[in-house]
Amino acid sequence: MNAPSFRPEPDRIADYEPYLRMLARMHMRASYQAKVGASDIVQQTMMQAVRAFDQFQGETEAEWRGWLRQILVRQICHLDRDLHRDKRDVRREQSMQQKVAQSSMRLEALLAGPAATPSQHVAAVESITALVQAIDQLPDSQREAIQRHYLEGEKLAEVAAHMNKTTGAIAGLLHRGMKHLRQSLSAATGPASTNPVQP
């Protein structure tokens, strides 16, 4: 028996605000985040998603998130062009689409774990917003270390260089941050949840 098709609703787009905001914060250029914040870009993204809602042709929640990411990337690239008065750069837009998708995949992998069963992957997808909110609540240094290492794929030495810390200090931040995430997700999803966060 086939699983029922995913049916998004326009009034549920706001549920994805934390997810989109984290991706925007990671992929917007730091040089203009002071002028236009990630929350502003996400608001524009959600408004555009509502207007274009009938254009979504997917059947799964993963396709729905992919569609939202495409709109987010277009908004970021539009901002980039407006601020730098550049022409549209299709290659950069495609490159950013790939990078944002990779960050999203890493987020799901962080939640589901490499050995998760199909049912656990479904539970993971449903818990993405909870994970994003838990990451947002971490102390700044722990949040940045986790985002750079686990979501952006930076090596330990690269994270240390960006944050001007030793690799040992970064390892400590990652350990404490992951511990806090497990505790937060356990409280949010209940003790029956399996593999809440995988290092």
What are the backbone dihedrals phi and psi of residue 138, each rounded to the nearest 5 degrees, phi first?
-70, 155
Burial label for 31, CB within 10 Å (0-12, 13-18, 19+), is exposed
The pLDDT of residue 188 is 62
Q: Which CATH architecture does the domain made up of 117-199 adopt? A: Orthogonal Bundle (1.10)
d(CA 178, CA 43): 29
What is the fold, at CATH topology level, of the domain defined by 1-88?
Rna Polymerase Sigma Factor; Chain: A (1.10.1740)
The pLDDT of residue 174 is 96
The pLDDT tens digits along the chain (199 residues) read: 454 556 778 888 988 898 999 899 888 765 565 567 788 899 999 999 999 999 998 888 888 989 999 999 989 888 877 766 666 667 777 888 888 888 888 888 876 654 444 444 444 445 788 888 899 899 999 999 999 999 888 999 999 999 999 999 999 999 999 999 888 877 765 554 444 565 5
Q: Which two tokens stand for residue 181?
A: 């995430």
Domain with CATH 1.10.1740 in the chain: 1-88
Domain with CATH 1.10.10.10 in the chain: 117-199
